[in-house]
Amino acid sequence: MDPGELKLTSASNIINLRTAAGMTQAELGARLNYSDKTISKWERGEAIPDAYVLTQLAEIFGVSVDYLLSSHNKWQSPEEIEKSNEPSYSADIIIIVTLLGIMTAALTAFVIGWIFGFLEWRIFLVGIMLSALVYLILDSVFKHGRHLKLALIALIVSIFVLVYFVFWDRNPWQVFLLLLPAIAIALLSTRIYKGPEKTEKPPKS
């Protein structure tokens, strides 16, 4: 395979994998510490990622480096692939249905308790906490952590609110003193792994 054909092959594969994962060029660039302009060059077949970046791409998309460099179909322009590469399922609908299912289960438990004379509204707080946890997981699976930080914050806040209202008779407002440090630790933990900074080489004169 000549260099020009290899560039077009890798471009087609990157576009297909990125769009199937629901990622924008900017989001993929952020994962790789490259600008979206560089991603665009790769996808237009003007350049090809180096070996290290190909390894990163393979890890992000769950494929092999050989897959990225192998031809699976004829090359299409980014515009053509964006239009034709429609997923067979909607990740957003899956997430929404799952979260509605959790809250419906919480409502069902509340109604059953109500029927038997046991009103416990805090079951909804448990439902909210579980929803935040499940959203965090599904966002990682279907959207590659696109909303990871917001999901973490929602989960941590819901845990603290639940703890407060479980022991509300003691008015344990002091637990909220730990809220900001907990959020800070969680958010910083998402930045523990960071690949080496990349800088684009200036064009040869």
Number of domains present in the structure of the chain: 2
User: Do 35 and 55 reside in the same domain of the chain?
Assistant: yes
Confidence at residue 97, expressed as pLDDT on a 0 to 100 scale: 94
User: Do 70 and 10 reside in the same domain of the chain?
Assistant: yes
pLDDT confidence tier of residue 80, bands split at 50, 70 and 90: low
User: Do 53 and 131 reside in the same domain of the chain?
Assistant: no
Q: What is the CATH number of the domain that holds 19?
A: 1.10.260.40
- Mutual orientation of helices 123-143 and 148-166 as an angle, nearest 10°? 160
Stretch 182-190: mean pLDDT: 87
CA–CA dist 26, 34 (Å, integer):
9
Instruction: Report if residue 168 sits inside a domain.
Output: yes
Of 61, 84, 107, which one is at a domain's C-terminal end? 84
Percent of the chain with pLDDT over 70: 84
Confidence at residue 116, expressed as pLDDT on a 0 to 100 scale: 92
Confidence at residue 82, expressed as pLDDT on a 0 to 100 scale: 52
Instruction: Report if residue 175 sits inside a domain.
Output: yes
Whether the predicted pLDDT of 4 surpasses 80: no
Whether the predicted pLDDT of 90 surpasses 80: no
User: Do 132 and 182 reside in the same domain of the chain?
Assistant: yes
Instruction: Report if residue 16 sits inside a domain.
Output: yes
Residue of 68, 61, 14, 59 whose CA lies nearest to 41: 14
Residue 122 sits at the vertex; the CA angle it makes with 119 and 128, to the nearest 5 degrees, is 135
Instruction: Report if residue 199 sits inside a domain.
Output: no
User: Do 100 and 35 reside in the same domain of the chain?
Assistant: no
Percent of the chain with pLDDT over 90: 39
Whether 143 and 27 have beta carbons less than 8 Å apart is answered as: no
At 23-66, the pLDDT tens digits run 898 989 899 999 889 999 998 888 889 889 999 999 998 888 88
Whether the predicted pLDDT of 98 surpasses 80: yes
Amino acid at 67: Y
User: Do 154 and 124 reside in the same domain of the chain?
Assistant: yes
Instruction: Report if residue 197 sits inside a domain.
Output: no
Query: Rounded to a whole number, what is the largest CA-CA distance in the chain?
Result: 81
Q: What is the 3-state secondary structure (H, E, C) of 132-197?
A: HHHHHHHHHHHHCCCCHHHHHHHHHHHHHHHHHHHCHHHCCHHHHHHHHHHHHHHHHHCCCCCCCC
User: Do 78 and 97 reside in the same domain of the chain?
Assistant: no
Overall pTM surpassing 0.75 (yes/no):
no
Of 62, 84, 106, which one is at a domain's C-terminal end? 84
User: Do 182 and 106 reside in the same domain of the chain?
Assistant: yes
Instruction: Report if residue 200 sits inside a domain.
Output: no
User: Do 128 and 145 reside in the same domain of the chain?
Assistant: yes
Residue of 1, 7, 4, 10 whose CA lies nearest to 69: 10
User: Do 77 and 109 reside in the same domain of the chain?
Assistant: no
Please provide the average confidence, as pLDDT, over all residues in the chain.
83
Of 39, 69, 84, which one is at a domain's C-terminal end? 84
Instruction: Report if residue 195 sits inside a domain.
Output: no
User: Do 182 and 95 reside in the same domain of the chain?
Assistant: yes
List the domain range (segments joined by +) for residue 80: 3-84
Lowest mean pLDDT, pick from 32-36, 88-92, 143-147, 162-166 = 88-92
CA–CA dist 153, 190 (Å, integer):
12
